[in-house]
A and B are shown apart, each in its own frame.
Chain A
Amino acid sequence: MADVIGQVQICPDVFLLTLRADEIAEAASPGQFCMVEVRSHGDMDPLLRRPLSIHRVVGGGEIEFLYRVVGHGTYLLSQHCPGDRLYVLGPLGHGFQIVPGCPAILVGGGLGSAPLLFLAEELARDMVTVILGAPTKEELLCVEQFTAIGHQVLLATEDGSMGRHGLVTDVLSEVLSHGPDPRSCIFTCGPWPMMRAVYDMAHKRGLSCQVSLEARMACGIGLCLGCAVRRQDGQGYLHVCTEGPVFDAERVSWEPRQ
């Protein structure tokens, strides 16, 4: 059980949830996730916990989740206040693999910046480029937090209200056109078409690319096998909960998603 410490609305449908969970905070590494209860105790519905990637670990055994209200379950989660207690299972899954000494390019689209902040905080300061994008300035998340770490932060909005007028992949393309260090690692999270475009660029240049995927999940621990994603080699499926949620992008089949 974890105590709700904070529940803050960041923009119209995005919330920052802070939980006190000492053991999870202690064990967590960037890119891992938790299964978080959304219903109130005694309720049967919604049945399932929600998989949320860890946004940050803060001092004193606290973990933060940045999430969007997309349905009834996440709406109920947003109604939990300090004083409430929630069942939380985690940290789960395989997170980002940091390669010491290699420059890192972080590419986050919309809420995809959520797991990247934890990663950014763990990376050496002088070798990180962060590229964040969203439809509008209001939906650009965590810009101050990434900037405060001291990383170079490049922005793009689809309506041009902040940063470059365009997509994160336009900015990435420009960054890569300067002839990046061949040891560079790209870390990305965001909408499927964006991640696919990022993977394509990395693949063409022979750069390593790690993607954080999401999938519908019931258990989060490899029991139900519900969170399947097709493998690129055609040999069946990957499971987001136990083999991911972060994958080497070369393992994932990037066919359009339903």
Chain B
Amino acid sequence: MIAPDLSTNIGPLRLKNPVLLASGTCGYGEELKDLLDLNQLGGIIVKGISIRPRPGNPPPRLAETPCGLLNSIGLENIGIERFIREKLPWLQGLKTSVIVNIFGESTGEYAEMARRLDGVTGIQAIEVNISCPNVDGGIVSGTDPEAAAGVTRAVKRSTDLPVIVKLSPNVTDITKVAQEVASAGADAISLINTVLGMAIDVRSRRPCLARIFGGLSGPAIKPIALRMVWQVVRSVDIPVIGIGGISTYEDALEFLMAGAKAIEVGTATLVQPSSAENILAGIRTYMESNGLHRIGDLHLHI
């Protein structure tokens, strides 16, 4: 039996396998060093960073819902300079792809961050977060196709690194945003970010989150994510990375069958830090026992 080739190409970025850790659920990697062998994975997408440090939103920031988690962290992060100085050196020692997730409050800020990361050793790609539901303005660039394209163009002009644009599901037609982003030069698209949601504590008679709305993640959103990945795969020519409630290798296979070239494991890592390793092992075993040789063989051409 030939061992399956799990490598996958995300535009110019070659990953050794399709399992990535999703931004915002794996810190800056080092937090997981004793709990997971990051080098086994296809890559890690570090916590979203902004130009300046952000303190994040007031608590409560979390609420658990059926098979889901609502969060309104608000992109708390240490800012790009401290990231490069304090967090990147450890990441540079990894033998896997490091992808940096960036968030800007304006097109100019996105471009400035892309410029700052361009040529920095140890970074293989940029994931552009145009879809955070928890910061003012965050959702705007993700839901307006033209704004999304503007950010994409600005980032592409500012870096030679592969650019992945992460889309929001909180739109009427995801394919419109995807097509605009693709035409603007994105190397790949990742989706979905969290689904805008809300919960109320009936005992205290207050919304569970201080900011009232938050982003829903976890198994609860997987069918929505899968449907959107299916649609986007069929509407653009660039690679798609599937995200949304992936907790098991079967979940991951569904996204790969829908046409995703890679997947990101998010909330599952919070619940069980070694989830991504188990998912990767499951994909490998499935491919072996079904005689599939490449990740692309999983894609259903329907």
Cβ < 8 Å to A, chain B residues 151-208: 204, 206
Contact between A218 and B59, CB atoms less than 8 A apart:
no
Q: Quick one: given A218-B62, A223-B32, are A89 and B67 in contact (CB under 8 Å)?
A: no
Complex CA–CA separation, A53 to B60 (angstroms): 20
CB of B219 within 8 A of CB of A225, answer no
1/0 per residue B217-257: CB within 8 Å of A? 01100000000000000000000000000010000000000
Min CB distance A41 to B, Å, is 11
User: Does any Cβ of A come within 8 Å of B121's Cβ?
Assistant: no
B58 on the A face (CB < 8 A): yes
Query: Is B272 an interface position by the 8 A CB rule?
Result: yes
What residues of A have a CB within 8 angstroms of the CB of B55 in the complex?
235-237
Residues from chain B with a CB closer than 8 A to the CB of A224 are 24-25, 62, 71, 73, 270
Looking across the interface, which residue of chain B has its beta carbon closest to that of A226? B62
Given A223-B25, A223-B26, A237-B76, A47 contacting B61 (CB threshold 8 A): no
Task: Tell me what chain A mostly uses at the interface: helix, strand, loop, or mixed.
Answer: loop
Within 8 A of B (CB), among A122-179: none
**Counting chain B CB atoms within 10 Å of each CB, which of A87, A89, A218 scores highest?**
A218
Residues of A within 8 Å of B24, CB to CB, are 224
Which residue of chain A lies nearest to B76 when distances are taken between CB atoms in the complex?
Answer: A225
Within 23-56 of A, Cβ neighbours of B (below 8 Å) are at: 44-49
> Is B296 part of the binding interface, using a Cβ–Cβ cutoff of 8 Å?
no
A226-B71 Cα distance, complex, nearest whole Å: 7
In Å, the complex CA distance between A33 and B179 comes to 47
A6 interface residue per 8 A CB criterion: no
Q: Is B282 interfacial (CB-CB < 8 Å)? A: no
Chain A contacts of B206 at CB under 8 A?
258
Determine whether the beta carbon of B31 is less than 8 Å from that of A44: no
Residues of A within 8 A of B269 (CB): 219, 223
Chain A interface size, as a band, is 20 to 34
B-contact 0/1 string along A214-258, CB 8 Å cutoff: 011111011111111110000111000010000000000000001
Quick check: A216 and B66 within 8 Å, CB to CB? no
Task: Say yes or no: A47-B76 contact (C-beta < 8 A), given A218-B62, A237-B56, A258-B210.
Answer: no
Given the complex, which residues of B lie within 8 Å of A226, measured CB to CB? Answer: 61-62, 71, 73
Shortest Cβ gap from B275 to chain A (Å): 11
Whether B101 sits at the interface, judged by CB under 8 Å, is no
B35 CB–A CB distance under 8 Å: yes
Main secondary structure of the interface of B (DSSP, over half): loop
CA distance A47 to B220 in the complex (A): 10
| Contact call B69/A228, Cβ cutoff below 8 A | no
Q: Write the nearest CB–CB distance from A176 to chain B, whole angstroms.
A: 31
* Distance A235 CA – B47 CA, assembled complex (angstroms): 20
A-B interface pairs (CB < 8 A), number: 97
A44 to B64, CA, bound (A): 12
**Inter-chain contact B270/A258, CB cutoff 8 Å:** no
A217 to B271, CA, bound (A): 10
Give the chain A neighbours of B66 by CB distance below 8 A. 45
Q: CA–CA, A212 to B32, complex, Å? A: 24
Q: How large is the interface on B (under 10, 10 to 19, 20 to 34, 35 or more residues)?
A: 35 or more
Quick check: is B27 within 8 A (CB to CB) of the other chain?
yes
Given contacts A47-B67, A226-B71, A230-B59, whether A221 and B272 have CB atoms under 8 Å apart is no
Taking a contact as CB atoms under 8 Å apart, the answer to whether A228 and B59 are in contact is yes
Complex CA–CA separation, A237 to B56 (angstroms): 8
Contacts of A216 in B (CB 8 A): 59-64
B56 CB, min distance to chain A CBs, angstroms: 6
Q: How far is the CA of A258 from the CA of B209 in the complex (A)?
A: 10
**Closest-CB distance, B240 to chain A (whole angstroms):** 25
Distance between A221 CB and nearest chain B CB, rounded to angstroms: 6
B residues less than 8 Å from A258 (CB atoms): 59-60, 204, 206, 210
B122 at the interface (CB under 8 A from A): no
B58 near A230 (CB under 8 angstroms)?
yes
Contact between A47 and B25, CB atoms less than 8 A apart? no
Other-chain residue from B56, B68, B270 in contact with A223 (beta carbon distance below 8 A):
B270
Q: How far apart sit A49 and B128, CA to CA, in the bound complex (Å)?
A: 30
Chain B contacts for A237, CB-based, 8 A = 55-56, 59, 76
Nearest chain A CB to B174's CB is how many angstroms away? Answer: 25
For the complex, is B129 an interface residue (Cβ under 8 Å from A)? no
Tell which of B58, B64, B76, B270 touches A46, judged by Cβ atoms closer than 8 Å. Answer: B64
Q: Does B150 contact A (CB under 8 A)?
A: no
Interfacial chain B residues near A46, Cβ < 8 Å: 64
A162 to chain B: closest CB distance in Å?
A: 28
| CB pair A218 B69 closer than 8 Å | yes
Nearest first, the 6 closest Cβ-Cβ pairs linking A and B are A236-B55, A226-B62, A219-B270, A216-B62, A218-B270, A223-B27
**Could you write out 17 A-B pairs with CB less than 8 Å apart?**
A45-B67, A46-B64, A47-B64, A47-B68, A47-B219, A47-B267, A48-B69, A48-B271, A89-B35, A89-B273, A216-B61, A223-B25, A227-B59, A229-B59, A230-B58, A236-B55, A237-B55
A sample of 16 more A-B contacts (CB under 8 A), given A217-B62, A237-B59, A242-B31, is A47-B218, A47-B219, A48-B64, A87-B272, A216-B62, A216-B64, A218-B62, A219-B25, A219-B273, A222-B31, A224-B270, A226-B62, A227-B61, A228-B56, A230-B59, A237-B56
